[in-house]
Amino acid sequence: MFKQSIYMTDLRIHTPDTGLRAAYDHCDVNGFPVPFYYAAPAGKSNLPVVLVVQEIFGLHAYIADVCRRFAQQGYLAIAADLYKRQGNATDFDDIPQLMSGLVNRVPQDQVLADLDATLAWAGANGGDLGRAAITGFCWGGRISWLYCAHNPTVRTGVAWYGRLMGAKTALQPEHPLDITERLRVPVLALYGGKDAGIPLSMVDEMKNALATAATAGNPAAAQSTFVIYPEAEHAFHADYRPAYRASDAADGFQRTLDWFAAHGVA
């Protein structure tokens, strides 16, 4: 069942919180308490910040572990529960129900505003907003692209296999393909060559849109780049899912750290 296979603790990687301050907390956004998980080196301040954006399955053990992985590298990493106003991902038995009953009901503008508030909390609690970035997986990969066109505070982003195009709705009016000319900062895009939902033809279309935006004078589009893992499927970083590829996941995480450092987030 969906709940058994996704809301699990059978992660292949278990990152300890030794030497970290790590906890669940919340920040207020227009009177609503948005929950989040954060992790950071204990006893330190002025830390680089990374927003970690959830998959479609919400804020669960894997996303919290990713926060600790960044924290062990010296970051204040923070992941908000971006569905909370609309419901809980754990209430759904399969992915189609989850998409129709929850994910597609979450307004894009709400997500961006909640991320803004989460980032502000990080800045007030030990983070250096002069060194901030965003990364996300699947649903969060798409959001990472959009956020890099939204908030001028972040210096860069890394999008892991986020959807690039698709149907638009009043609640979700844009996709990454639509915002290339508005990108404020460069994006590193990590995608699988065998991703059935995001074929390489879509990646090529996104590359073309970035090239057009670059020609029109957008330096962030010019600096954005894709890395394709030829044998990887969707969700190759998610170490609790069958598509996990340890070597590609490790390479992508190191590339993320290197990309952040190269863009002043370290």
Q: Among all residues, which ones are annotated catalytic?
A: 138, 195, 234
The residue assigned the tokens 């990364």 is 135
Contact between residue 101 and residue 21 where contact means Cβ atoms under 8 Å apart: no
DSSP tag of 10: -
In this structure, how many other beta carbons lie within 10 angstroms of the beta carbon of residue 169?
Answer: 11
Distance CA 81, CA 2 (A): 19
Alpha-carbon distance 203 to 217, whole Å? 21
Helix (H, G, I), strand (E, B) or coil at 137: strand
CB neighbours (10 Å) of residue 228? 14
Inter-CA distances, 4 with 9, 90, 113, Å: 10, 10, 31
